[in-house]
Structure 1
């Protein structure tokens, strides 16, 4: 355990970031963490609790996932992907909005779903699952609007100034959407164990997480054809994170949540992205070694 924590600290330091991680062996319950109980800003990772709430309400019969929603261009929150980047009127089902929200982290799609299920419902779902420190306080459009407002007249270029970044409310977990790495792995485990709602809805959520298009964070630590990674990223200035489940062909399933902060205000910091995969691999390897050692002890003659 000590060697693993040292390796994690070294990986984060070498990448020029501070890091938070929690990893959970879904099958055995074994866990490993470095600052896993610290509050973190979830950014777009909070789309995962929203997805859970959507499917929970669908399973209860409160809504139909094939329901069509009009998506007018006016009033859409800013964003580089999906509806947020589109210019014309669209009409999509709730489940297709959920696809855009999870696969390309579409803020506009997410806010349409948040309007449909309600912010309070997302918090009630978290409370029902025992996630007492997981809270949504605002929409994704409001989060991005706060960044724009706090950046001031300098616009996006001002975010290169560390003094400007330091005043962003979106980076303060006391103000914005928040959770802890431990609670997020607990949520992932509940999804994989079908403890959230029906197995059919669980399959749908797991499918969407597997369709995420970004391979440069969590998945980068597991470059194997037979290892499956399903996750959700989140990003804000200086903040990068991802939560997800790593599945091995021997049946091992590992929920991992990694969050990093960097002093660099650059929009692209490859090392800060890659260390998310590196840290996840270190943690999962340690949990797999623990599982192997436990199996060997169990096989010893009594």
Structure 2
């Protein structure tokens, strides 16, 4: 498929869904790629949990922590969220690796911040720098990120997030003031994980396993509804932002890292077309990479 045809199809798909899209797709083995704004800075939202997961496993591989270490999870002071520990009411005690499971499979914010308390935000940034992700930076914990949204929304709280004027002042939606990356940085990270360059093989396999257990099928995976195609990924969501990065593996051995980041002017929480276009765009890009 000609490059111009692929880029035209991507442009049309994003426009039809009412979003602005940025995408990078990479054949992990050949290096072939599709670039649709791949170097534009984007807000990562919960996609940044992948950077934390890689950091956690690199620290474990270096003997700096034990993944079976138990962490107390009291209900008071937990980072809020709709899933996992963030939504639970009672005290719990969990291992680091089980917290990582909740962080990746259901995007548990409380679990993520407990892990950040253990490894440190600076350590995450050192890890991404050492992996060559020069455009990737974590500015906040996930609790701090939510706090900026609450503060910037003002006294009317969540109701104000339907106001376009309020949305323009949210620091969380400004890559210069929030957790950020680029689509190309994210596929570079995924490629390193799948080639066992980000971690030793034992830990690389653990990372890939968790990405494959994510429960959300409505974005990246929706573009590949086949029993013999495996999709492993991590979503990210903020007001007007829907993202996912992941790897698509075909039974013939083809494996493709894809990063799709979208923004929409519509502040509605439920926008099925904006979710589905992530899978549509990923499929267009992967199909282009699979053409001989």
2:14 paired with 1:12: yes
The one of 135, 141, 144 aligned to 1:142 = 144
Cα distance per residue 1:48-77 (max 9 Å; x no partner): 000000000000111000000000111111
Q: How far, CA to CA, are the matches of 1:154 and 1:271 in structure 2? A: 28
In structure 1, runs of 5+ residues without a counterpart are 294-302
- Give the aligned CA root-mean-square deviation in angstroms: 0.5
2:57: which partner in 1? 55
Partner secondary structure for residue 131 of structure 1 = coil
2:194 paired with 1:171: no
Partner secondary structure for residue 136 of structure 2 = coil
1:299: which partner in 2? none
Cα distance per residue 1:129-148 (max 9 Å; x no partner): 11111101110000011111
1:227: which partner in 2? 229
2:124 paired with 1:125: no
2:87: which partner in 1? 85
The one of 178, 185, 210 aligned to 2:187 = 185
Q: How far, CA to CA, are the matches of 2:110 and 2:80 in structure 1? A: 8
Cα distance per residue 1:30-64 (max 9 Å; x no partner): 01111000000000000000000000000011100
2:283: which partner in 1? 281
2:47: which partner in 1? 45
The count of corresponding residues between Structure 1 and Structure 2 is: 290
2:248: which partner in 1? 246
2:69: which partner in 1? 67
1:268: which partner in 2? 270
The one of 189, 210, 213 aligned to 1:211 = 213
Partner secondary structure for residue 25 of structure 2 = strand
Bigger shift: residues 148-157 or 223-232: 148-157
Deviation at 1:166, TM superposition (A): 1.2
- Choose 1 or 2 for highest CA Rg: 1
Q: Give the structure-1-normalised TM-score.
A: 0.95
Q: How far, CA to CA, are the matches of 1:185 and 1:233 in structure 2? A: 14
Deviation at 1:153, TM superposition (A): 1.3
Q: Give runs of ≥4 in structure 1 deviating > 3 Å.
A: none
Q: How far, CA to CA, are the matches of 2:265 and 2:135 in structure 1? A: 26
Q: How far, CA to CA, are the matches of 1:10 and 1:95 in structure 2? A: 41
Q: Give the structure-2-normalised TM-score.
A: 0.99
In structure 2, runs of 5+ residues without a counterpart are none
Q: How far, CA to CA, are the matches of 2:133 and 2:244 in structure 1? A: 18
Q: How far, CA to CA, are the matches of 2:286 and 2:30 in structure 1? A: 13
Partner secondary structure for residue 40 of structure 2 = coil
Deviation at 1:156, TM superposition (A): 1.1
Deviation at 1:198, TM superposition (A): 1.2
